[in-house]
Structure 1
C-alpha cells in the first residue's frame, strides 16, 4: 500500500489505482453471484420476506452497519 501512495500522490490517482487493483476481484465475485442466482432464483431472498432481493440487500447492509 505504501508503494501505491508514494506513486500516486493525489486522492483521485490513489482511488483510480485502487479500482484497477480491485476490478479483477469484483469481476470474479460477480461471476460467482450470477452462478448462484442461475442455480437458485431465490438464493438472495429471506424466506417469508415478500420484498425479494431488495429486502435481502437492505437486511444485509443494515447487518453490516450494526
Structure 2
C-alpha cells in the first residue's frame, strides 16, 4: 500500500493500518519468543504441562495476528 499517492484523509487511515499491522506483527514475534523460552525452561526443569495444547494455542494466535489484522 502506497501512502504517498493518496489525499490527507486517506493517508491517515493508511498510516494507521500500517502502524497497526507493524505493532501486531511485533507482538506476535514477542509472544512466540516468550513461549519458546517458557517451553525451553519447562523442558529444562522437567515441569509437566501440555506442550501440544500450548503449541496449538501458539499456531492459533499466529494465524489470528498475521492473517486477520
Which TM-score applies when normalising by structure 2?
0.39
In terms of fraction of residues, the more helix-rich structure is 2
Structure with the bigger RCO (C-alpha within 8 Å, sep 6+) is 2
